[in-house]
Structure 1
């Protein structure tokens, strides 16, 4: 059975041995009905891989008050505090507020990198996409859009439980993203899920080799029962 003593060992194992496909398959087999975040959440570049611990962030639209156009007295709410709260190997994962507003960009990426963050997952848009890519921080989002944050959303809480689509994300859950999407692995189940996913991935390598050697898909499936 696969074992690891530290997150660094676990993350290295996942990068070497896994993709989100076998992880998602195994989670569904184990009864997790929604292992993946919504398919609209994609890497800003298809070859990016993200592995880390969730640091969830809750956004909400600003609350208007007064006339004619006044909003919450503190611009962006707890946005800056939420970024500064990041710890090494954590994933800034945010939801809530309007989807089209860009709630992550160059400056936030710079600060996240300086703090050792693993990356970011935004249930919405980002901006400064070219600069974010140059910085090298793995970022997943619904797209890119120039509209900024102010008057469109505020961070109201962080290091809290959030919901993205049908998936509950809690502090410390394992976040795994690649070109096929983002998987959320509950912390308490990762020692059951990861070894089974690695075993499935190794079986898939055998299937791949047999197909390359000329075996039919039906025969390969009959032999290995994976696809």
Structure 2
């Protein structure tokens, strides 16, 4: 198993502040911006399990694999997650055993972790509801991952199905699901998302003043906003 991040430089990437305007944006607005920039990032099949509380933070990644003859650990990594980070767990999409439960939820809440996103399933969802802790996954199932899976790598690249996630990438989640913004493109994505949001607000205002939706969309170039840039 690879060890957790140890250098202050690496940890600072995960703890780096996120531009404040990201908190104003929905996953739909960010997804449109990703499309415009030809960037993958909309994680199919992963949604809120316990609460629709928005999730926003940089990725702290953990990849799991099947157990060896002498099983390894499953959840001890939580002690090294920086406050404000989003725990991203890649269990290969498995739905037959969990990698997150009630104890981890309480510890994460006490450590001010921003939330958890799982390519797989979770359990003890009542604990997440009680703590109002953002928990996103492919579903829920009660059977433990202990002695079935173990941590293979911490803070390497992982998968949320069809989306690759690297440590320090920005994750945003709401009632519509999860989007991932690559760390090196966050300013570009933010600029496009804000432009799209402003155009949509202008369209709504024009319609309220009596314009047809078709005319309002033409006026504000709506049909070109989500198209890929050449």
TM-score (norm 1): 0.84
1:100: how far off? 3.0
1:224 aligns with 2:216: no
What residue number does 1:66 align with? Answer: none
Q: Write the distance in 1 (CA, Å) between the matches of 2:199 and 2:135.
A: 30
Match of 1:20 among 27, 43, 56: 27
Deviations 1:201-220 (A, max 9, x none): 12211212233444322112
Match of 1:145 among 137, 141, 157: 141
Deviations 1:74-103 (A, max 9, x none): 4xx243332111001111101134233221
Q: Write the distance in 2 (CA, Å) between the matches of 1:47 and 1:134.
A: 13
Match of 1:73 among 66, 70, 73: 70
Is the contact between residue 44 and residue 133 of structure 1 (CA under 8 Å) also seen in structure 2? no
Q: Write the distance in 1 (CA, Å) between the matches of 2:98 and 2:218.
A: 48
Q: Write the distance in 2 (CA, Å) between the matches of 1:9 and 1:170.
A: 16
RMSD between aligned alpha carbons? 1.9
Q: Write the distance in 1 (CA, Å) between the matches of 2:189 and 2:164.
A: 17
Match of 1:86 among 81, 91, 96: 81
Match of 2:56 among 36, 51, 55: 51
Q: Write the distance in 2 (CA, Å) between the matches of 1:23 and 1:215.
A: 27
Deviations 1:24-74 (A, max 9, x none): 111111121x22112x210125632100000111011223xxxxxxxx424
Aligned CA distance change for structure 1 residues 130 and 179 (closer, same or farther; 3 Å): same
1:120: how far off? 0.3
Match of 2:98 among 97, 102, 124: 102
Runs of 5+ consecutive residues of structure 2 not aligned to the other structure: 1-14, 224-230
- 3-state SS of paired residue (2:33): helix
Alignment of 1:138-217 (within 5 A): 138-217=134-213
What residue number does 2:38 align with? Answer: 31
Aligned CA distance change for structure 1 residues 137 and 152 (closer, same or farther; 3 Å): same
Q: Write the distance in 1 (CA, Å) between the matches of 2:16 and 2:210.
A: 40
Aligned CA distance change for structure 1 residues 79 and 45 (closer, same or farther; 3 Å): closer
Q: Write the distance in 2 (CA, Å) between the matches of 1:8 and 1:159.
A: 18
Runs of 5+ consecutive residues of structure 1 not aligned to the other structure: 1-5, 64-71
TM-score (norm 2): 0.83
Aligned CA distance change for structure 1 residues 204 and 46 (closer, same or farther; 3 Å): farther
